[in-house]
Amino acid sequence: MTLCKETEPIKIAERVNDEFQVLAPKLDLDTPWFGYISFKNKNENFEFRIGVHADKNEKIIDWHHPIAKYYYQKLEIGEEIELEPPYRNIQGAVTAYASAEGYSGYLKSLVWNDFKGTAKIIRLDDGTFVDIHENQNNDNTKVTFSKPQQEGLSDLISLLTPEQYELITQKTSEPLIIQGRAGSGKTSVALHRVAWLLRDENEIQEHHKKTKVLVVMFNKALQCFVSQSLKSLNLEDKIEINTFHTWAKLALESVFKGQLIPLSYFDLKELFDKAQFNDNKKLGLIKSHAGISQLMEAFVKAKAKKVWELIENKIKEYDIDGIRHQFKRSTTAYVQDIIEFRKDIKYRIAQEKDEYEINRLSQIEIVLQNIYEKSILYKEELFELLNHWEWLMKCIPNLTEENAKSVGLRQKIIQTKDKASSAKVGKYIEFDDYALLLRLVQLKRGGLPYGILGEEIFKFDHLVIDEAQDFGAMQLLVLLESVTSRTGVTIVGDINQKIAPEKDFVGWDEIAKLLNIDNAKITRLEVGHRSTLPIMWLADSVIGSKPILQGRYGIYPKIKSVQSSKQLKEEMIDFIIKRVEQCPNAHICIVFRNKNIIKNYLNDLKYLLRHKKIEVREGERDTFSFRKGVTITNIHQIKGLEFDSIIVGDASENHWPNDLDSCRLMYVAITRAQENFLALHEGRATPLFSCLNDPYFWKPVERFLSQKDFKPVQIIQEEWDEALSVIDLEL
């Protein structure tokens, strides 16, 4: 069905709607295609529809196609384009482009651009279409329509901006480092870039080679959230997506035969109190310092030198064939060299029939096996490293002797908890030790172990680090050393959304140094696309960022005072019922900083909303659900997620004081909301909202939005001719 020959936007929308009704059930998609672009030259018209998946029969191309680039770039009408071979025959001037959104097989909205301008068409509840631009100043026309909200993640591919598309498709020999404000699409860009790179690689590589991709983030709920978007990008079976701690635990399981149990924050506090040890934030941060890696490298090199000397002394009288000289002697990855050496000796023994030769070779194997077993005592080596305070002082600038010694004592308390009398250390570690142990493994093995026996090593082809601001330097370094090439790395984050105060963010320039690209250009995505302008205006004010007057219409955030817990729940109930009536598929999140009161509100709201059949549930890590209804959770669970509406249920001064951690956490809470933000407080309100005391606070937003509503005068030529023509003249 040709669209480019139609001139009336409403009729175009009706044709698209007819297309969707036919294609949606056939392709099993709500939106069979989301983008449209047409070109024209002297001889021919071209038109293309862009969808999540290509379909030759229906003449739909996917977002990877070279023609799709011109759709995402949002070229000017009339601008000339010419494609590279093999599409050189497609050339001409852009005559129209459009974006479409469907729901249940019907067209929901259409933005159509051609020589006449832009038409924004929406489908009303009665099934008819209306142009918002034509009706926005008509007081007699009331435009109402339902906007169903998707459950879980929204469609990513159709929403890419020209800036995001350029980042995704750029060909670069350097890693991609992206800073971005909340809702700017950082994670979407990272995932799309992986999909783009994998597609390019699949075209030039053998089909049997399986590309390995790791996506790591800080938040477990975000991991579940992002996992839902992988299907649309065709990445489900191509990537491993995990939090850092889960990934590190799985990687270490192939190394440690015994138990490795991390102690929680509360377990550590109890342990230190029992030992009368005064723990503090500074001591915990030392383990995250990049200088620890330098110490480890020097330590492993020294070990390697001694090990090779020992091997030489012990096996030279048995190695009459000089087998030992055939193997690599790495200055760091000596354990992997020993594994390869030992495998070769085992193979020779299996092939040998002479008993003397078997005994001779067996002596070499015994030596190698013993040295190997002594060389993989990673927990013991970590204990040794952190208890050499003079080593620590050499590698970590400005570290005092007192703090260096305290680091060793702290580690001793942790690692000797409930240990056997004959053992040097026990089974307990803390979460920060995951990165340190993995770094030791990487240095000694030259990569991460895998395989049934854990004797092989591998590295990932691509790596995505999301929420980089919440990772310590050692965690980042371990991740960067797990990929074959730094060109396969994409790092995204936003310092304003830092929610892990126990980690010092090394800074974007330091990340560039870790990547060995000191002069790397760090890209920043400035425009937030998730939240409305009023919501982002408040968020930027809370965090102290320069506000950006750009964004869409929306309801202004509300901060309400209540006199009791009962009234607070009544306000929540009232908001939820009204919002669900407006948008039945809305996912509303109630957030508390004080997670100890969540159960109480969960049970009460379940009871109070039962008659409305609105599901109320707790959001917790792996079990976090993104269905419509109400989720109650704590602020640390919602990092990176998005909801129709956010309610902060404890926005009082005692829970949200005026400090940096509170500012960042409140910024995260506000920017999770797409449409509505409500903060409720009992007692004095948090000072973070003191900006609202300014009577002129919303004036710039109101002025900007009123300018967007402004419709310039339009007089077509026929009107001029009619108005200025004189036919009858009275004299």
| pLDDT 10s digits, 538-576 | 999 999 988 888 888 899 999 999 999 999 999 999 999
Q: Which of 218-222, 322-326, 470-474, 651-655 has the lowest mean pLDDT?
A: 218-222
Q: Per-residue confidence at 435, pLDDT binned at 50, 70, 90?
A: very high
Question: What pLDDT score was predicted for residue 208?
Answer: 45
Question: What pLDDT score was predicted for residue 276?
Answer: 94
Binding positions are: 180-187
Region 95-106: mean pLDDT is 88
Kindly tell me if the per-residue pLDDT of 136 is higher than 60: no
Tokens 């919440």 appear where? 470
pLDDT digits (tens, 9 = 90+) for 684-700: 999 999 999 899 999 99
Do the two domains 162-254+451-510 and 533-709 of this chain adopt the same fold? yes
Q: Per-residue confidence at 192, pLDDT binned at 50, 70, 90?
A: confident
Cα–Cα distance for residue pair 414/29, rounded to 1 Å: 54
Region 526-546: mean pLDDT is 87
Q: Per-residue confidence at 428, pLDDT binned at 50, 70, 90?
A: very high
Q: Which of 76-85, 118-127, 637-646, 713-722 has the lowest mean pLDDT?
A: 713-722
- Tell me the two tokens of residue 349: 């023994």
Kindly tell me if the per-residue pLDDT of 305 is higher than 90: yes
Q: Which of 25-39, 42-56, 154-168, 310-324 has the lowest mean pLDDT?
A: 154-168
Kindly tell me if the per-residue pLDDT of 371 is higher than 50: yes
Query: Is 510 strand, coil or helix?
Result: helix
Tokens 């951690």 appear where? 661
The number of helices, as runs of H, and strands, as runs of E, in the chain is: 24, 24
The larger pLDDT score, comparing residue 84 to residue 241, is at 241
Mean pLDDT, the chain, rounded, equals: 85
Region 308-333: mean pLDDT is 90
Kindly tell me if the per-residue pLDDT of 645 is higher than 60: yes
The larger pLDDT score, comparing residue 715 to residue 447, is at 447
Question: What pLDDT score was predicted for residue 143?
Answer: 44
Kindly tell me if the per-residue pLDDT of 581 is higher than 50: yes
Closest CA to 600 of 616, 589, 615: 616
Cα–Cα distance for residue pair 713/726, rounded to 1 Å: 24
Q: What is the pTM of this model?
A: 0.81
Of the chain, the percentage scoring pLDDT greater than 70 comes to 88
The tally of CA atoms less than 13 A away on the side-chain side of residue 530 is 32
* CA 142 distance to own-chain centroid: 40
What DSSP assignment string belongs to 153-206?
SPPSGGG--HHHHHHHH---SS-EEEEE-TTS-HHHHHHHHHHHHHHHHHHHS-
Kindly tell me if the per-residue pLDDT of 723 is higher than 80: no
Cα–Cα distance for residue pair 373/353, rounded to 1 Å: 28
* CB distance 650 to 565 below 8 Å: no
Question: What pLDDT score was predicted for residue 379?
Answer: 93
Region 257-284: mean pLDDT is 88
Query: Is 559 strand, coil or helix?
Result: strand
Kindly tell me if the per-residue pLDDT of 146 is higher than 50: no
DSSP E strands, 530-656: 558-562, 587-592, 616-618, 629-634, 643-648
What is the Cα gyration radius of the chain? 31
Cα–Cα distance for residue pair 584/577, rounded to 1 Å: 10
pLDDT digits (tens, 9 = 90+) for 204-225: 454 445 568 899 988 888 888 7
Question: What pLDDT score was predicted for residue 370?
Answer: 95
The larger pLDDT score, comparing residue 235 to residue 505, is at 235
Kindly tell me if the per-residue pLDDT of 151 is higher than 60: no
Question: What pLDDT score was predicted for residue 144?
Answer: 42
Question: What pLDDT score was predicted for residue 518?
Answer: 58
Nearest-5° Cα angle at 445, 434 to 297: 70
Residues with Cβ < 8 Å from 142, sequence gap 6 or more?
Answer: none
Region 467-478: mean pLDDT is 88
Q: Which of 13-27, 183-197, 198-212, 489-503 has the lowest mean pLDDT?
A: 198-212
- Tell me the two tokens of residue 486: 């730094």
Binding positions for ATP are: 180-187
* CB distance 44 to 224 below 8 Å: no
Question: What pLDDT score was predicted for residue 502?
Answer: 56
Question: What pLDDT score was predicted for residue 64?
Answer: 84
Q: Per-residue confidence at 322, pLDDT binned at 50, 70, 90?
A: confident
What DSSP assignment string belongs to 298-353?
HHHHHHHHHHHHHHHHHHTTT-TT-GGGGS---SS-HHHHHHHHHHHHHHHHHH--
Which of 182-191, 274-283, 438-447, 477-486 has the highest mean predicted lDDT (pLDDT)? 438-447
* CB distance 397 to 290 below 8 Å: no
Kindly tell me if the per-residue pLDDT of 150 is higher than 60: no
Give me the residue spans of the domains in the chain. Answer: 9-148, 162-254+451-510, 263-430, 533-709
Region 412-439: mean pLDDT is 93
* CB distance 335 to 314 below 8 Å: no
Kindly tell me if the per-residue pLDDT of 241 is higher than 50: yes
Cα–Cα distance for residue pair 356/418, rounded to 1 Å: 47
* CB distance 543 to 663 below 8 Å: yes
Cα–Cα distance for residue pair 434/244, rounded to 1 Å: 9
The angle, 0 to 180 degrees and rounded to 10, between the axes of the packed helices 378-386 and 401-415 is 150
Question: What pLDDT score was predicted for residue 372?
Answer: 93
Question: What pLDDT score was predicted for residue 710?
Answer: 55
Cα–Cα distance for residue pair 378/246, rounded to 1 Å: 19
Kindly tell me if the per-residue pLDDT of 494 is higher than 70: yes
Amino acid at 460: F
Residue length of the chain: 731
Region 87-109: mean pLDDT is 87
Query: Is 129 strand, coil or helix?
Result: strand
Cα–Cα distance for residue pair 712/720, rounded to 1 Å: 16
Kindly tell me if the per-residue pLDDT of 405 is higher than 90: yes
Q: Per-residue confidence at 499, pLDDT binned at 50, 70, 90?
A: low
Largest CA distance in the chain: 134
Candidates 3.30.830.10, 3.40.50.300, 3.40.50.620, 2.40.50.140; correct CATH number of 533-709?
Answer: 3.40.50.300
Tokens 């029939």 appear where? 353
Question: Pairing between strand 239-243 and 616-618?
Answer: unpaired
Cα–Cα distance for residue pair 528/698, rounded to 1 Å: 18
Question: What pLDDT score was predicted for residue 542?
Answer: 94
Kindly tell me if the per-residue pLDDT of 137 is higher than 90: no
Question: What pLDDT score was predicted for residue 433?
Answer: 94
The larger pLDDT score, comparing residue 170 to residue 239, is at 239
The larger pLDDT score, comparing residue 206 to residue 499, is at 499
Cα–Cα distance for residue pair 612/469, rounded to 1 Å: 41
Question: What pLDDT score was predicted for residue 26?
Answer: 83
Cα–Cα distance for residue pair 666/306, rounded to 1 Å: 53
* CB distance 651 to 680 below 8 Å: yes
Query: Is 502 strand, coil or helix?
Result: coil
Question: Which sign does the torsion angle of CA 702, 703, 705, 706 carry?
Answer: positive
Kindly tell me if the per-residue pLDDT of 430 is higher than 90: yes
Question: What pLDDT score was predicted for residue 467?
Answer: 87
Give the N- to C-terminal CA distance of the chain in Å, as an integer.
58
Which of 158-172, 502-516, 560-574 has the highest mean predicted lDDT (pLDDT)? 560-574
Residues with Cβ < 8 Å from 389, sequence gap 6 or more?
Answer: 401, 404, 405, 407, 408
CATH top class, domain 162-254+451-510:
alpha beta
Cα–Cα distance for residue pair 675/556, rounded to 1 Å: 9
Alpha-carbon separation of residue 78 from 36, 94, 278, 331, 541 (angstroms): 15, 5, 71, 63, 41
